[in-house]
């Protein structure tokens, strides 16, 4: 069993593939619902406006956008609120822009032809998938 420090509150927790501890996860989900609800009623807003109106920290809202969790409400935003981590181009959601994404995919495809998933035990693969689904808000 692997234990790690929660980057949010610093407490120790058992690493089952989530980024933060259970308590912080619950907190983040509550904050996420607040942001989602606000976006359902308001359109053309910036991250600053959402943060001011809901009290949810700017950093956390950006995190939701980068994780792609606000996909359904992304058109409610007043344009791109985040930047591509690779080329700094303004983007609507995610960490990198579509162009960088395809460039990276291409690079990955040409550099390693082997399927890395084959080397990962199925349990780890399952947890990884659960984590990805969670980050996407499924």
> Judged by CB under 5 A, which stretch of 2-10, 63-71, 102-110, 112-120 contacts Zn ion?
2-10
Give the separation between CA 10 and CA 8, rounded to whole angstroms.
Answer: 6
Of residues 79 and 121, the one with the C-beta less far from Zn ion? 79
Q: Which of the ranges 5-13, 58-66, 67-75, 117-125 carries the binding residues for Zn ion, by CB under 5 A?
A: 5-13
- Segment near Zn ion (CB under 5 A); pick from 13-21, 42-50, 57-65, 75-83: 13-21
User: Exposure pattern of 115-135 as b/e (b: 16+ CB <10 Å)?
Assistant: eeeeeeeeeeeebeeeeeebb
Binding residues for Zn ion, total number by CB under 5 A: 12
For 13, list phi and psi in degrees, rounded to 5.
Answer: -150, 160
- State which residue, 37 or 85, has the beta carbon closest to Zn ion: 85
The sign of the torsion formed by the CA atoms of 35, 69, 65, 7 equals: positive
If the CB atoms of residues 45 and 103 are measured against Zn ion, the closer one turns out to be: 103
Q: Report yes or no: 84 and 98 within 8 Å, Cβ to Cβ.
A: no
Selected binder of Zn ion within 36, 83, 86, 130 (CB under 5 A): 86
* Residue found under tokens 């693969």: 125
Positions touching Zn ion (CB under 5 A) are 6, 8-9, 20-21, 24, 84, 86-87, 89, 97, 100
């Amino acid at each position: 069993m692997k234990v790690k420090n929660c980057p949010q509150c610093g407490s120790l927790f058992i690493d089952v593939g989530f980024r933060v501890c259970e308590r912080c996860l619950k907190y983040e989900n509550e904050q996420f619902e607040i942001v989602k609800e606000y976006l359902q009623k308001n359109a053309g807003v910036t991250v600053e406006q959402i943060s001011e109106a809901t009290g949810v920290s700017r950093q956390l809202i950006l995190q939701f956008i980068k994780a792609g969790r606000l996909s359904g409400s992304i058109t409610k935003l007043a344009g791109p609120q985040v930047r591509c981590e690779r080329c700094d181009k303004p983007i609507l959601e995610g960490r990198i822009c579509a162009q960088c994404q395809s460039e990276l995919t291409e690079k990955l495809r040409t550099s390693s032809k082997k399927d890395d998933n084959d080397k990962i035990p199925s349990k780890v693969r399952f947890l990884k998938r659960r984590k990805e689904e969670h980050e996407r808000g499924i």
